[in-house]
Amino acid sequence: MERYIEAIKQAYPQLNIQTCRLNQNGQFNTVLQVNEALIFRFPKTRRELDTQQREVALLRDLQGKLPLPVPDPVYLSRDNAPVGEWFMGYAMLPGEPLYPALLHSLDEQTQQHLAEQLARFLRQLHAYVPKEPAPEQQQFEQWHALYKRFQTKLYPFMRPDAREQVSKHFDAFLSKAHLYSYQPAFIHGDFGPGNILYNPETRSISGIIDFSSADRGDPASDFAALLCSVSYGEAFLARFTSIYPEIETMLIRARFYAGTFALQEALYGLEDGDEQAFKNGIAAYR
């Protein structure tokens, strides 16, 4: 912990650090909570450092442009700091993660209010044009390539019926991919319950965090993160339609993407040597 504290002190000697809590369980970042009020994220690899630098620029540009608060990285490490000392820091947003059990414990009126908040946020985020737009990616080619990686690397660990189920899931979608064209938009990229903050005092969404995966892509992928098996489900997503009616045309793609999330976790866990991620992702298929 001392190394991280020292890096912060070197960049911000005037910051009075009284309390610290360290969380090293993140896959990509070590997180230091300072004075119960500030979050400092230290990337674990050079690749994640580069990603975080892009995230800092994005978050600074997004300030005041979205209907919900997002982190404002007012703290940044000294120039050319190496991995382990490079960081971004921001004031903690109030609230707690809106996990499915919490959402479903709320009354109907509150759930509808939260759905409309999220719909407005996504509608505005998807319309955002970054200062330096990323080139359009060939999404369907990427899905073909991912399917082959599943077959090569994950199928040996899977039950025969699970392999058949996954093959049908991909074949049915990819054989008609030309029917599912979409207009690329700017997406969050990891719009799951852990990154959606809920304030029980105001009974409202209090912020959206973790824009490390934000990029140009298919807006249906953000909805997929909300309807998948470990998220809120399609019934909650149906509450979005009054604010974001286009969602109905995205559901086929969103369902397909959602059906790949666990296997993606297993694949990346296998490739990155993260045994727990592999076990979590492959569990339902073994």
Q: State the Cα angle at 105 between 284 and 197, rounded to 5°.
A: 80
Q: What is the mean pLDDT of residues 13-24?
A: 91
The yes-or-no verdict on residue 138 having pLDDT over 80 is: no
Token pair listed for 55: 């995230």
Task: Give the residue among 84, 114, 109, 75 at the shortest CA–CA distance from 199.
Answer: 114
Find all residues with CB under 8 Å of 103, minimum gap 6, and list them. Answer: 111, 114, 193, 198, 232, 236
DSSP sequence for 177-237:
GGG-----EEE-S--SGGGEEEETTTTEEEEE---TT-EEE-THHHHHHHHSTTS--HHHH
Q: What is the mean pLDDT of residues 253-267?
A: 95
Are 41 and 87 in contact, with CB atoms under 8 Å apart?
Answer: yes
pLDDT at 213: 92
Domain 96-285 maps to which CATH number in 1.25.40.340, 3.90.1200.10, 3.10.105.10, 3.40.50.720?
A: 3.90.1200.10
pLDDT at 135: 57
Predicted confidence (pLDDT) per residue in 193-242, tens digit: 999 999 999 999 999 999 999 999 999 999 999 999 899 999 999 999 99
The pLDDT confidence band at residue 283, using thresholds 50, 70 and 90, is: very high
- As to burial, measured by CB atoms within 10 angstroms (0-12 exposed, 13-18 middle, 19+ buried), residue 73 is buried
Taking the C-alpha atoms of residue 145 and residue 205, their distance in angstroms, rounded to an integer, is 37
Predicted confidence (pLDDT) per residue in 80-128, tens digit: 899 999 999 999 999 999 999 999 999 999 999 999 999 999 999 999 9
Mean pLDDT, the chain, rounded, equals 93
Write down the pTM of the prediction: 0.91
Asked if 10-91 and 96-285 have one fold, the answer is: no
The yes-or-no verdict on residue 137 having pLDDT over 60 is: no
Taking the C-alpha atoms of residue 219 and residue 250, their distance in angstroms, rounded to an integer, is 8
User: Which superfamily does CATH assign the domain made up of 10-91 to?
Assistant: Phosphorylase Kinase; domain 1 (3.30.200.20)
Segments making up each domain of the chain, as ranges: 10-91, 96-285
Q: What is the mean pLDDT of residues 164-169?
A: 97
Amino acid (1-letter code) at residue 24: Q
Taking the C-alpha atoms of residue 218 and residue 202, their distance in angstroms, rounded to an integer, is 32
